[in-house]
Amino acid sequence: MEKDKFDYFIKTEKNSWEVIIGLEVHAQVISDSKLFSGSSTKFGGKPNTQVSLVDSAFPGMLPVINQYCIEQAIKTGLGLNAKINLHSIFDRKNYFYPDLPAGYQISQYKNPIVGEGVVTLDMPYGSKKIGIERLHLEQDAGKSIHDLSPDNTFVDLNRSGVALMEIVSKPDLRSPDEVNSYVKKLRSIMRYLGTCDGNMQEGSLRADVNVSVRKKGEKKFGTRCEIKNVNSIKFMEMAIDSEAKRQIELLESGKTIEQETRLFDTKKNETRTMRSKEEAHDYRYFPDPDLLPLEIKQSFVDSLKKKLPELPDQKKERFIKKFKLIPYEANLLVSDIDISKYFEEVIKNADIKLAKNWIIVELFAVLNEKKLDIKDSPVSPKNLGSLINAISSGEISGKIAKKVFEIMIETGGEPSQIIKEKGLKQQSNPKELEKIITKVLQNNSEKVSEYKSGKEKLYGFFVGEIMKISSGKANPKLVNDILKEKLKK
Amino acid sequence: MSDFNKSSLSEIVNLIKAKKASSLEITNHFINNIEKSKKLNCFITTCFEESLKSAKNFDNKKKFDGLLAGVPLAVKDLFCTKNVKTTAGSKILENFIPTYESTVTNNLWSEGAILLGKLNCDEFAMGSSNETSYFGNTINPLGKDLVPGGSSGGSASALAANLTPATIGTDTGGSIRQPASFTGTVGLKPTYGLCSRWGIVAFASSLDQAGPMTKNVEDSALLLEAMSGYDEKDSTSINKKKEKYSKNLNEKIKGLKIGIPKEYRVENMPKEIDNLWKKGIDILKKAGAKIVDISLPHTKYALPTYYIVAPAEASSNLARYDGVKYGYRSKKGKNLIEMYENTRGEGFGDEVKRRILIGTYVLSSGYYDAYYLKAQKVRKLIKNDFDKCFKNVDVILTPSTPSSAFKIGEKTNDPISMYLNDIFTVPVNLAGIPAISIPVGQDDKGHPLGLQLITKALDEQKILNIAFTMEKSIGFNQSIKRWWE
Amino acid sequence: MSIDKNQVKKVAKLSKISLDDSKLESLSKDLASILNFVEQLNKLDTKKTEPLTSVVDKILDPRTDKVNDGKIKSEILKNSPDKNEDFFIVPKVVE
């Protein structure tokens, strides 16, 4: 099979354009309490119930850093094959907004906790390495709600102070597909590590997308624009496409691109300016004097490294080697930690080949249709395993198994129970089968003669009748053996 | 009945513990003084009802072992006191009532002390004369037209006028030591990190430090012991065992080396200050200490360094005063930005605005390296100067201020001339080391002047001991006519 | 180096402080004199000096990941000049 070639170039009448993309992904850290205070980080709490005096920046309040958030950042850095900086500094990023109570955000500027790394994507045209520039820890802001009143904004500070990891990629991405793959890969790595749940609907994962264009073959980068706060992969793809086209249109008409921050309007499917030049922020970063430099011991990093779980790339290699899966299959089964867990649970006691097919084809189809995550699958891994074993042992045929599976989806029930109740057990008794086959042949003696004189197509008819009488339970292999034998005579 | 005006903090504690005086008696005494002293404008808020209640409760206890048993104290209005208005001397917090207590004041109440009220100060601790307070300036008891110093002007004035037996202030560039010098009292700035900053309205986070302001050194040791201590809610708080400063107070200073920095002998230094400095040196020589000439070469860069670092940090610390969560909000303004601008424009005084603007400027894009980064480097040099000297000497002796208390309004037109008040005190904050100012004499106008003892980090006991010894030899006495009553 | 009125206005915008045009002149003068004063630092060669990162002799002391704060909604909202039972209320931003 020929490998596809990379081909995302935007072609106009005059030119062929390449799109350069860099992503700044904001990932909410999994931790019980906030980065610098002891309030809860749970999603969906009633407004302002998860807010401390520190979170709301009352006079005299001071930050104290959460040990676990430091660990989570280091683990993520290790998962990105990145350099862990043993010395890093927290800086204040100063600006005014109602959901930023202190008037500054505690972030990291010149000395982040994690340095350069790399993430590998599996694209149809081969594997591609995307460089990671850095990862740093910072506070999330609260929520400003603009649509509860015409004149006023309502502010909820529950999210204010929750730990975020900002992961900055190098401008190595070249298409919406690569962005899709990159975000999914990052998400998967963090879910494997347990450092971020990647739930984009709840806002645990958001991205700022930097887009620029250049003529195919050109070496210099064009001026980039930043599209802020895109919270779904689909919107990222759409935003990149529309922004690239906007820039190309400008450049082809002789205009220049102004470096600016834009928002993606999901209804109009276009980007628009967020900030005018006048309001351009000067964040006046400086080291936070309420905190001290963060010093991490190499031995601590090493101990975290030892305890890391198997990551997607490693698991994929192992699945290919050990279970003889093809890369495509392995990719699907490791793409999310919940899927890989499900698969590994099923194959504990069931045939691997059947398991992978049932999961990738049958189960995924159902989950997609019902818009469910695998962790909410109506069919548990144990039950799927039992179903597969029922096929392997010959208790039921593959065709019957599909029926059983349908019932399992509706009821969440156990396969052996269902087989028993519905009497779906395969008829594998040769004597019984012989009776049925003999009857069918007897009742269709004309067709038997026709078959014997050469109408070989009628074989299927006989099988069909046998299946009808046996309500589909006749063991297909045995039927074939016996039928063939009988038809010879 | 004893005249508690003449009693020190330690004496009052002992009287109460020995049940020779009740907390109620003492509290009433100071309440009386306060009520007669409105002209001085030392207090922004008083809470007499609660004070008396607490005093009565205290007296009902059978036994009490706290360091500050039953003593009423007023504190600078920069410490957040639960359910008692805390303004930081500013309009923007004029009605702010904290629901929490600062760690330092909580330590005082845990040791048995009782809150009398909140003392006036320069707005957000920015000033050297208590003339920038939204609540009006405070007057120095030593003269109707004199400033008490700042920013802990209300504290120093109240102390000298016997409106409180002792008090606590904060010192960012000299705000405890300079008013102590101007009022003939004792003021100590502890090592940075010794006292918790949690619950203190922040001005410049890497410089602010709370400290005791008292009539004598023994009281200073006692109060320091009560207020200091590790606080896990403050990341810059030092985790070490509490020292018993008052118990360990002694006069064993023979053989100690006292450094005299030549750079503190500034141009046009008033002769009286130089004389008092010499007087201090002689006292120490007689007590058996060795005098060593030293050099702190970067001294003259301390003030400019301070006026970059402090405003920079303040510009960020004061960003939270935006009218959203607490404090004053302007009624003007059709949208959010206008609300912010008007709230802060109307809520902050001129000096605070100047400092926020300078601070914002020196941190802004294009200027950060030239100003803020540069200042942090010079700060390193200043700290190195001290570290080097402390390898050869135990303590450094300098004047506390370049003059005695000046007249109200005298320096308000020129910010720089106001800033020059802190020329001797500021290097200490930049280096994070402790220093104490004790009164040593008067100038020709009869106004008090102080000398400053500086030592290395966490060596408070040493400067307390030397100050204690000097105090005895100096025998400083000031009798103040209560002209304001 | 002096700071001109436009720079003062820019900095005031950054710091969100409204300026009285009548006071702009004297404010610019004051700021210029302060900046002039602090520029003395340029006389020092600090090329080989590291900036001070902290004045206290300790490293960051992290705390354990425990929920021990929050759940004080009424206390948080109590001091706000404009609020309802659940939210802080502010005038809208004009985008």
Residues A31-53 have a mean pLDDT of 97
* Residue C27 falls inside a structural domain: yes
In order of B69, B375, B453, the CA distances from B30 in angstroms are 16, 45, 31
A2 pLDDT more than 80:
no
Interchain CB contact of B189 with C (< 8 Å): no
For residues B351 and B399, the answer to whether their CB atoms sit within 8 Å is no
Reported as a single tens digit per residue, the pLDDT across A335-351 is 999 999 999 999 999 99
Nearest CB to A66 within list C54, C65, C88: C65
For the whole model, what pTM was predicted? 0.92
Whether the per-residue pLDDT at B109 is higher than 80: the answer is yes
Average pLDDT on C50-75 reads: 93
Strands annotated E in B348-463 = 395-399, 435-442, 448-455
Average pLDDT along chain A: 92
How far apart are the C-alpha atoms of A240 and A225, rounded to whole Å? Answer: 10
Task: Find out whether B350 and A81 touch, Cβ atoms under 8 Å.
Answer: no
Burial of B181 (0-12, 13-18, 19+ CB in 10 A): buried
- Neighbours of B, requiring at least 3 CB pairs below 8 Å, are A, C
Q: Is the pLDDT reported for residue A461 higher than 60? A: yes
Angstroms from A64 CA to nearest CA on chain B: 6
CB of A384 within 8 A of CB of A416? no
pLDDT tier at B108, thresholds 50, 70, 90 = very high
pLDDT over 70, % of chain A: 98
**What pLDDT, on a 0 to 100 scale, did the predictor assign at position B421?**
87
Which residues have CB under 8 Å from A383's CB, separation 6+?
A408, A413, A414, A415
By residue count, chain C amounts to 95
Per-residue pLDDT tens over the stretch B72-93: 999 999 999 999 999 999 999 9
Amino acid at position A277, single letter: K
Provide the pLDDT for residue A8. Answer: 87
SS3 of chain C: helix, strand, coil, percent, to 5: 40, 5, 50
Give the other-Cβ count within 10 Å of B109's Cβ: 18
Asked if the structure places residue C58 within a domain, the reply is no
Which residues in chain B are closer than 8 Å to C64, comparing Cβ atoms?
none
Which residues of B are less than 8 Å from A289 in CB distance? 204-206, 236, 313
Range of the domain at C29: 5-42
Residue C61 lies in a domain: no
Out of A461-465, B145-149, B343-347, least confident range: A461-465
Q: How far does C87 lie from chain B, in Å, by closest CA?
A: 10
Q: Tell me the pairing of strands B114-119 and B167-170.
A: unpaired
pLDDT at position A489 over 80: no
Has residue C37 been placed in a domain?
Answer: yes
Mean pLDDT of the B93-121 span: 97
Q: What is the pLDDT of residue C1?
A: 57
Residue C92 maps to a domain: no
**How many domains does chain C contain in total?**
1
Residues in B 304-323 with any Cβ partner in A closer than 8 A: 312-313, 315-316, 318-320, 322
**Chain B closest-CA separation from residue C70 CA (Å):** 14
φ, ψ of residue B353 in degrees (nearest 5): -65, -45
Tell me whether residues C55 and B344 touch, CB distance under 8 A.
no
Torsion angle of the four alpha carbons A195, A197, A202, A206, in this order, in degrees rounded to the nearest 10? 60
* Contact between B316 and A59 using a beta-carbon 8 Å cutoff: no
Question: Using CA atoms, how far apart are residues A473 and B402, in angstroms rounded to an integer?
Answer: 106
In a domain, C30, yes or no: yes
| pLDDT for A113 | 98
* C-alpha separations of A410 from A391, A404, B471 in Å: 20, 10, 91
Q: Give the residue-averaged pLDDT of B180-207.
A: 98
In this predicted structure, the answer to whether residue B329 has a pLDDT above a threshold of 80 is yes
> Looking at the partner chain, which of C18, C41, C54 has a beta carbon nearest the beta carbon of B341?
C18
Q: What confidence tens digit (pLDDT) does each residue in B330-362 have? A: 999 889 999 999 999 999 999 999 999 999 999
Position B1 pLDDT exceeds 50: no
- The candidate with the shortest Cα–Cα distance to B301, out of A189, A415, A294, C41, is C41
Amino acid at A183: V
The pLDDT value recorded for residue B45 is 98
Confidence at residue B137, expressed as pLDDT on a 0 to 100 scale: 95
Return residues 38-67 of C near B (CB < 8 Å).
38-42, 44, 46, 49-52, 54-58, 60-61, 63
Residue B184, pLDDT above cutoff 50: yes
pLDDT tens per residue, range A391-416: 998 888 888 899 899 999 999 889 98
> Which chains border A (3 or more CB–CB pairs < 8 Å)?
B, C
* Interface pTM, i.e. ipTM: 0.96
Chain C hits for A53, Cβ within 8 Å: 72, 75-76
Cα R_g (chain C), whole angstroms:
22
Question: Which of A437-441, B102-106, C17-21 shows the lowest per-residue confidence on average (mean pLDDT)?
Answer: A437-441
Chain A residues within an 8 Å CB radius of C75: 53
Strands B167-170 and B210-214 turn out to be: antiparallel
Q: How far is CA A457 from the centre of its chain?
A: 48
Q: Which residues of C touch B380 (CB under 8 A)?
A: 49-52
B325 has a chain A CB within 8 A of its CB: yes
Return the bridge partners of B27, or none: none
- Residue B152 and residue B186 in contact, taking contact as beta carbons nearer than 8 Å: no
Q: Between residues 333 and 352 of chain B, which touch chain C (CB distance below 8 Å)?
A: 333-342, 344-346, 348
In a domain, C34, yes or no: yes
Whether A168 shows a pLDDT value over 60: the answer reads yes
pLDDT of the residue at A6: 83
| The two structure tokens encoding residue B420 | 């020059």
- Please state whether the peptide bond connecting residue B151 to the residue before it is cis, i.e. omega within 30 degrees of 0: yes
CB B313 within 8 A of CB B204: yes
* Residue B282 identity (one-letter amino acid): D
Residue C94: inside a domain: no
Which tokens hold the place of A254? Answer: 């002789």
Mean pLDDT, residues B105-129 taken together: 97
Residues of B catalogued as catalytic? 76, 151, 175
Give the tokens for residue B300: 């003259």
The pLDDT value given to residue A275: 65
Which residue reads 């009776």 in tokens?
A: A435
Q: How far is B398 from chain C (nearest CA, A)?
A: 22
Q: Cβ A153–C73 below 8 Å, yes or no?
A: no
pLDDT value of residue A1: 45
The residue among A403 and A55 whose pLDDT is bigger is A55
Closest partner residue to C14 (CB to CB) among A156, A282, A295 is A282
Ordered structural domains, chain A, with CATH: 10-304 (no CATH), 310-421 (no CATH), 430-488 (1.10.10.410)
Instruction: Name the minimum distance, in Å, from the CA of A228 to any CA of chain C.
Output: 15
Local structure of residue B165 (DSSP, 8 states): S
Say whether pLDDT at B2 is over 90.
Answer: no
Residues B426-446: b if buried by 16+ CB within 10 A, e if exposed: bbbbbbbbbbbbbbbbbbeee
Spatial separation of the C-alpha atoms in residues B52 and B70, rounded to whole Å: 11
Amino acid symbol at A331: N
Cβ–Cβ gap B93/A59 under 8 Å: yes
For chain B positions 340-369, those within 8 Å of chain A (CB to CB) are 340, 360, 363-365, 368
- Better-predicted residue by pLDDT, A321 or A421: A321
User: What's the mean pLDDT in A219-229?
Assistant: 92
How many angstroms separate the CA atoms of C94 and B335, rounded?
Answer: 7
State the pLDDT at residue A5.
Answer: 79
Among A58-72, A418-432, B186-200, B306-320, name the one with the lowest average pLDDT: A418-432
